[in-house]
Amino acid sequence: MIDQHKNRLAHEKSPYLLQHAHNPVDWYPWGKEAFSKARRENKPIFLSIGYSTCHWCHVMERESFEKEEVAKILNAYYVSIKVDREERPDVDAVYMTALQAMTGSGGWPMSLFLTPDLQPFFAGTYFPPIPAHGRPSFTQLLERVRELWNDNRDALIESGEHIVEALKASDKSTAEPNSLSDATLRDSIEKCYRYFEQAFDREEGGFGPAPKFPRPVQFDFLFQYYAAFPLPDTKPIMPLRTLEKMAAGGIHDHLGGGFHRYSVDRYWRVSHFEKMLYDQAQLVHSYLDAWQLTHNKEFANTVENICEYVRRDLMHDEGAFFCAEDADSDGEEGKFYVWTYQEIEDLLGENAPVFSRYYGITKEGNFEYGKNVLHISSTMAETADEFHISIEQLPDILAEGRSRLLHARNIRVRPSLDDKVLTSWNGLMIGAMARAADLLRKPQYLDDAWNAGEFIWKRLRPEGRLLHRWRDGEARFDASLDDYAFLIQGYLDLYEASFEAQWLRRAIELQAEQDSVLYDTEYGGYFDAREASDLILRSKNEYDGAEPSGNSVSVRNLYRLAVFAEEEGFRKKVDEVLAYFLRRIRNHPFAMPAMMAAALCKLKGMAQAVFAGGDIRELKHIVNATYQPWLAKLHSRSAVGEFARSLHTEDSLPTVFICRNFVCELPINDPAELKRVLTQGTNGARSTL
């Protein structure tokens, strides 16, 4: 960092922007001041988009943005704008679409050149300080774009206009309301499943070659597919094996809990080490699904491991959840997490060989420069047998070793913390904590979900308008579709865990607000963001990547709300959203597994478990212990619909009513009878309620 410099980013709240506040580059935040300067001086805009835990963003900063010679060119001939993609997902979505259209791929850091009217005419990602691998150096690129702007400006402006026109044309309506049929959806669902079946790594789990990214949307779809189309003696091997391999691998932090962003190898061993809140939240749901299907205690342990990490390291004092921890510390990727064999010996003494065998630690190292990433490389039985110790002793030896290493690790320089509070990612984590509390009977997790839910409602919804980001006392930026969809989902999960009506009412209120500001009343589907003068197009995203798309989550939310609120208007909107995306559903269903899971919900229909009476905890635990992806849980005393409120008992006897299409079976009071009803006609691995 060059301390004598201080640019406009010093006045921002984003940790990513603040990381660049002392660059010699004369950075502007995204906004009117930068746009006016570009138009007034007729200069092109250099737009750099990244985020605080992005390793290659750090690299490009060190190699280019901290260099005086680079800053001299940028400051003289460009207006340079920095954007935190997590703080401005609307801006990121527009220019990521442009980058992918222009280059065929995407990624961060994004490096784009725009006309003063914000139209992109050249785009790329990371550029090195010297020419390498067919890429020009960053300074060469700057000089070349400068020459083109001076000599052929009209052509660049025309190119930018054509690019924007093409992007707008590609996002025109694809609605096919007359083609939306159950048969069409079934065909697309089957096509999606077959794609994953072909891409599945049967030995190591995951889909496709390295690098391997956890995409919980895939697990959710596959679990639901197996539940919808059960086969005798067949379990959902693809998601279960992948989750098992991930939990054993180095992508899982065996000392501090939680999961890293992705694995660079096939075996889930060597990670790209940043930890993102959205990964933790979604993986809680995945491992809870796996636990419901198998009752394997290791899956429940992994849920608790993730939750405890988030509670310890990603929680604001007032209850909200922070964004992420970096991969780098002390300027080196993974330094906080890796170990030499000598360090293990020094810390663990005579138990070092046992610990090292179990966690794959070698003298040569399994990472760079003789370092090691902990991963489970041997079974408990194999390790105990090899060292002639009883298998009863081994857990204590391993636990003691982890404790010592964690203590030693906590003395190291920690990776930086991105302590923004995002409405969207908090919505995901609120739902995860609430569901973990409900299924695993962990009341402290329910408290955490409740506190975060209150924080977002009070701090990020001033005057009844949902906002996107809070940090250091400031709430800012209009909420995106993901903010609405993920928070509504979280509040519905919190209602099912607590049966407190306020969360259901808030979810309904937020859905009305989402429909008002983001729904396309002409063609259907939800826009990613509100209409704004600084966005060159208004897109609708359906891709389910590291996070599900807001449209996919909204379809599922609307189905749940149709049951909770007993309003058919929600169900009608589901059909409109699916119809809008139908062409893409038919052609590329594997790119939208969360939408396919939502389509399964449409095909199966949602049932209701309406609880009534006194202490219903035992009955609810039986419901929670079975995998029921299309079952809404309500309590008659806190329901908002007349039908559910009418299902009460006169004698306060704990009771549950299992209903479909608002027609109920006989009330159930006996736990054994409830278990029989929930598992009737199944093979024990899934439910077809």
Maximum C-alpha span of the chain? 86
What distance lies between CA 471 and its chain's CA centroid?
Answer: 20
Q: Return the half-sphere exposure (C-beta side, CA atoms, 13 A cut-off) of residue 69.
A: 7
Residue pair 29/12 in contact (Cβ under 8 Å)? The answer is yes
Given pLDDT bands bounded at 50, 70 and 90, which one contains residue 179?
A: confident
Report the C-alpha gap between 70 and 63 in whole angstroms: 9
CA–CA gap between residue 423 and residue 647 (Å, rounded): 35
What are φ and ψ of residue 82, in 5° steps? -105, 135
84, 52 contact by CB (below 8 A) = yes
Residue 682 has pLDDT above 80, yes or no: no
Average pLDDT over the chain, rounded to an integer: 93
- Residue range 365-376: mean pLDDT, rounded: 95
Q: Distance between CA atoms of 16 and 330, rounded to whole angstroms?
A: 17
**pLDDT value of position 175:** 61
- Mean local confidence (pLDDT), 129-154: 93
pLDDT recorded at residue 232: 67
Say whether pLDDT at 3 is over 60: no
Q: Sorting pLDDT into bands at 50, 70 and 90, what band is 684?
A: very low
pLDDT of residue 670: 93
Burial class (CB in 10 A: 0-12, 13-18, 19+), 276: buried
* pLDDT(171) > 90: no
Distance CA 257, CA 302 (A): 8
The CB-side HSE value for 550 (13 A sphere, CA atoms) comes to 30
Q: Which 8-state DSSP code applies to residue 350? A: G
Is residue 371 within 8 Å of 340, Cβ to Cβ?
yes
* 20: pLDDT strictly greater than 90: yes
Nearest Cα to 117, choosing from 163, 169, 85? 163
User: What is the arithmetic mean of pLDDT over 96-104?
Assistant: 92
In this prediction, residue 178 has a pLDDT band, given cuts at 50, 70 and 90, of: low
Q: What is the DSSP string of 150-200?
A: HHSHHHHHHHHHHHHHHHHHHTS----GGG--HHHHHHHHHHHHHHHHHHB
pLDDT at 173: 54
Nearest Cα neighbor of 284 from 464, 436, 419, 421 is: 436
Element (H, E) at 475: strand 474-478
By the 10 Å C-beta count (0-12 exposed, 13-18 middle, 19+ buried), 498 is classed as: buried
β-pairing, 79-84 vs 45-50, is parallel
Structure token pair of residue 190: 């089957």
User: What's the pLDDT score for residue 245?
Assistant: 98
CA torsion, points 448, 452, 458, 464, in degrees to nearest 10? Answer: -130
List phi, psi (to 5°) of 422. Answer: -105, 135
Q: Contact, 55 vs 27, CB < 8 A?
A: no
Predicted confidence at residue 234, as pLDDT, reads 73
pLDDT for residue 686: 44
Average pLDDT over residues 465-473: 96
> Is the confidence at residue 348, as pLDDT, over 60?
yes
pLDDT value of position 565: 94
Secondary structure letter of residue 415 according to DSSP: P
**pLDDT at 652 (0 to 100):** 85
Q: How many residues does this entry show for the chain? A: 689
Average pLDDT for residues 208-223, to the nearest whole number?
Answer: 96
Q: Cα–Cα distance between 457 and 657 in angstroms, integer?
A: 32
Q: Is the pLDDT of residue 650 over 80?
A: no
Are 638 and 499 in contact by the 8 Å Cβ rule? The answer is yes
| Alpha-carbon torsion (164, 165, 166, 171), positive or negative | positive
**Spatial distance between the Cα atoms of 530 and 518, rounded to a whole number of angstroms:** 6
Place of tokens 């805009």: 45
pLDDT tens figures, 502-537: 999 999 999 999 999 999 998 899 999 998 889 999
Residue 161 has pLDDT above 60, yes or no: yes
pLDDT tens digits for 80-89? 999 999 999 9
Query: Pick from 431, 355, 367: which is nearest to 393 by CA?
Result: 355
Work out the average pLDDT over 195-214.
Answer: 95
The span from the CA of 288 to the CA of 295, in Å, is 9
What the chain holds in terms of domains, given with CATH numbers, is 8-170 (3.40.30.10), 180-211+302-322+418-604 (1.50.10.20), 337-411 (no CATH), 607-679 (3.40.30)
**Pairing mode of beta strands 324-325, 417-418:** antiparallel
Residue 572 has pLDDT above 50, yes or no: yes
Q: Nearest-CA neighbor of 688 among 65, 229, 135?
A: 229
SS3 letters for 278-326? HHHHHHHHHHHHHHHHHCCHHHHHHHHHHHHHHHHHCECCCCCECCEEC
Q: Centre a 10 Å sphere on the Cβ of residue 62 and count the other Cβ atoms it contains.
A: 13
Name the band, by pLDDT with cuts 50, 70 and 90, for residue 167: confident
